[in-house]
Amino acid sequence: MPKGRIFEEAADLLRKAGYRLPPEFDDSRKLILDIPEENLRFFLAKPMDVSTYVEHGVADIGIAGKDVLLEEERDVYEVLDLKISRCHLAVAGIPDTKLNDVAPKIATKYPGIASGFYRGKGEQVEIIKLNGSIELAPLVGLADRIVDIVSTGRTLKENGLVQYEKICEVTSRLIVNPVSYRMKDKQIDHLVGRMSSVVEGEEL
């Protein structure tokens, strides 16, 4: 499970799928939570790290944002679009500014996505990797543009920034370790089926 913003929506989805998660599931500081009555063990990781746990097979299943999956390119199966935590990746910056530099500076938490995006456009850029609060970079002159997640648009607005280009839509996905899928296909298919019914709005 990813900690932070996605957690609440993901836990809600699991409950709707019929999994009985105790109330302490939502506000515990524990990083491993056992739900014996459901025969499930949850690991709580940073959203960017979920696919690492799943790729290495220590977790069979994970919930990861499409942004993380595009950035990390992990060897995992993406089995279901959970349609939660909907947002998009975009290029943003200070309004009415042109990119005249030979290699404009792009600040981002997603160096892989950003360099792929500009390579696709045939534009040479310098990528500056940051770990958060990306919107600060153009305001203080560290970068000409940012490549970042836009959800409500509030962070851009409150910092006087505008979106220049949309890169892609992002939602959370259910991912599975390929070996786990072979070994535990019935259990995993059962979970995926339950989750899928909730996502598609079907009665369980």
Percentages helix, strand, coil for the chain, rounded to the nearest 5? 35, 25, 35
* Smallest gap from residue 51 Cβ to ligand PRP (A): 17
Mark 86-125 with x for binding to ligand PRP (rule: CB under 6 A) and - for no binding.
Answer: -----------------------x----------------
Of the candidate residues 115, 155, 171, 197, the single one contacting ligand PRP (CB under 6 A): 155
Task: Count the Cβ atoms, other than its own, within 10 Å of residue 158.
Answer: 9
Of the candidate residues 18, 124, 133, 190, the single one contacting ligand PRP (CB under 6 A): 133
Of the candidate residues 60, 67, 72, 148, the single one contacting ligand PRP (CB under 6 A): 148
Residue 153 interacts with ligand PRP (CB under 6 A): yes or no: yes
- Between residue 71 and residue 90, which ones bind ligand PRP under the rule CB under 6 A? none
Nearer to ligand PRP, 87 or 195 (CB): 87
Which residues are 168's β-sheet partners? 89
Nearer to ligand PRP, 98 or 154 (CB): 154
DSSP letters for 39-79: TEEEE-B-GGGHHHHHHTTSSSEEEEEHHHHHHH--S-EEE
Residue 152 interacts with ligand PRP (CB under 6 A): yes or no: yes
Structural contact between residues 91 and 29, judged by C-beta atoms closer than 8 angstroms:
no
Of the candidate residues 91, 134, 176, 199, the single one contacting ligand PRP (CB under 6 A): 134
In angstroms, how far apart are the furthest CA atoms of the chain? 61
Structural contact between residues 80 and 60, judged by C-beta atoms closer than 8 angstroms:
no
- Identify which of 46, 70, 73 has the alpha carbon closest to the alpha carbon of residue 168: 70
Binding site for ligand PRP (CB under 6 A): 109, 132-135, 148-155
